[in-house]
């Protein structure tokens, strides 16, 4: 959608293939994470909420462990093959597309076994994964990157970081038992909450810049979710903190804001 909104024409077949690649990457990282979390015992000690990561399927059906790994690796292979197809089809994009694709593959493979052991890398991993998909899509469907493309990836990147960060607060002890080192564990809940609020502030700051810029002003439609962020902030700062309600608002912010940005780029 963003590529179309910047004046280019997008072939339906290419757009569908890019979408399948993004879905394959999403399935891969989640399946491999679920496989690893079950093997480490994390899923067995997590006090699940409706916003907890993972599906909980392996806890109920442990006989699917092997199939889950096959699903993850198979999806990763499918994603890599789709990326290779676009590289072979448009070799002039090699310099810009190959680093994005390789970084994405490395992120999927390293997330659970390594990145979750390093608090700051763990914080930025989900946002970086989302940003790489956005940038890869922009390159494939819209050509070489421009400075504004990098700017527009910041709000989804920061909001994706916050989606995972807040969900780590209820799981501090379970994560510690599994050998993870998340930011709430590393900094403490209060300082980690400040990081979350700073990322919201920066994300909406970028959208405010877009609002007062001639181009790409349509992305500022994402500002419509600002009241949700303000409400979530109030819930997290109340005594006692209303974490479950804030988790729901955080999820809505992370999903709806990029969607509104894309719609604004297309139609405004």
Domain ranges of the chain: 2-267
Q: Pseudo-torsion of CA 254, 256, 261, 266, nearest 10°?
A: 140
Q: Give helix 12-40 / helix 119-142 axis angle, nearest 10°.
A: 160
Per-residue model confidence as pLDDT tens digits over 110-149: 999 999 999 999 999 999 999 999 999 999 988 888 888 8
- What pLDDT shows up at residue 135? 94
With 0-12 / 13-18 / 19 or more C-beta atoms within 10 angstroms meaning exposed / middle / buried, residue 259 is middle
The structure tokens listed for 145 are: 């990157």
Q: What is the 3-state secondary structure (H, E, C) of the chain?
A: CHHHHCCCCCCHHHHHHHHHHHHHHHHHHHHHHHHHHHHHCHHHHCCCCCCCCCCCHHHHCHHHHHHHHHHHHHHHHHHHHHHHHHHHHCHHHHHHHHHHHHHHHHHHHHCCCCHHHCHHHHHHHHHHHHHHHHHHHHHHHHCCCCHHHHHHHHHHHHHHHHHHHHHCHHHHHHHHHCCCCCHHHHHCHHHHHHHHHHHHHHHHHHHHHHHCCCCCHHHHHHHHHHHHHHHHHHHHHCCCCCHHHHHHHHHHHHHHHHHHHHHHHHHC
pLDDT at 233 exceeding the cut of 90: yes
- What pLDDT shows up at residue 40? 86
Full-model pTM: 0.92
Q: What is the mean pLDDT of the chain?
A: 91
pLDDT at 93 exceeding the cut of 90: no
pLDDT at 32 exceeding the cut of 70: yes
Measuring CA to CA, which residue among 169, 251, 159 is closest to residue 202? Answer: 159
pLDDT at 16 exceeding the cut of 80: yes
Measuring CA to CA, which residue among 102, 72, 75, 76 is closest to residue 87? Answer: 102
- CB neighbourhood size of 89 (10 A): 10
- Lowest mean pLDDT segment, chosen from 20-29, 58-67, 223-232, 241-250: 58-67
Contact criterion met (CB below 8 Å) for 105 and 76: yes
Distance CA(164)–CA(162), nearest Å, equals: 5
Distance CA(250)–CA(229), nearest Å, equals: 7
- What pLDDT shows up at residue 54? 65
At residue 52 the predicted structure's pLDDT band, cuts being 50, 70 and 90, is: low
At residue 223 the predicted structure's pLDDT band, cuts being 50, 70 and 90, is: very high
For residues 19-38, give the mean pLDDT.
94
Q: pLDDT exceeding 90 applies to what percent of the chain?
A: 72
Distance CA(179)–CA(39), nearest Å, equals: 12
- CB neighbourhood size of 58 (10 A): 20
pLDDT at 7 exceeding the cut of 70: no
């Amino acid at each position: 959608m963003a590529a179309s909104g910047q004046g280019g024409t997008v072939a339906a077949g290419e757009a569908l293939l890019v979408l399948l690649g993004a879905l394959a990457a999403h399935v891969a990282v989640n399946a491999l994470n679920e496989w690893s979390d079950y093997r480490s015992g994390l899923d067995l000690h997590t006090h699940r909420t409706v916003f907890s990561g993972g599906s909980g399927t392996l806890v109920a059906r442990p006989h699917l462990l092997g199939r889950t790994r096959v699903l993850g690796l198979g999806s990763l292979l499918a994603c890599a093959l789709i990326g290779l197809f676009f590289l072979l089809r448009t070799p002039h994009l090699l310099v810009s597309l190959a680093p994005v694709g390789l970084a994405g593959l490395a992120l999927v493979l390293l997330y659970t076994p390594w990145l979750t052991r390093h608090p700051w890398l763990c914080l930025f991993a989900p946002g970086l994964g989302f940003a790489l998909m956005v940038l890869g899509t922009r390159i494939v469907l819209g050509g070489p990157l421009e400075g504004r493309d990098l700017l527009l990836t910041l709000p989804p990147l920061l909001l994706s970081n916050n989606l995972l960060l807040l969900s780590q607060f209820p799981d501090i002890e379970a994560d510690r038992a599994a050998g993870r080192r998340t930011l709430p564990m590393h900094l403490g809940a209060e300082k980690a909450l400040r990081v979350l609020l700073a990322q919201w502030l920066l994300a909406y700051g970028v959208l405010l810049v877009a609002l007062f810029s001639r181009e790409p002003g349509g992305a500022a439609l994402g500002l419509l979710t600002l009241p949700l962020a303000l409400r979530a902030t109030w819930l997290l700062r109340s005594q006692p903190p209303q974490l479950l309600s804030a988790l729901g608002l955080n999820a809505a912010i992370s999903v709806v804001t990029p969607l509104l940005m894309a719609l604004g780029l297309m139609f405004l």
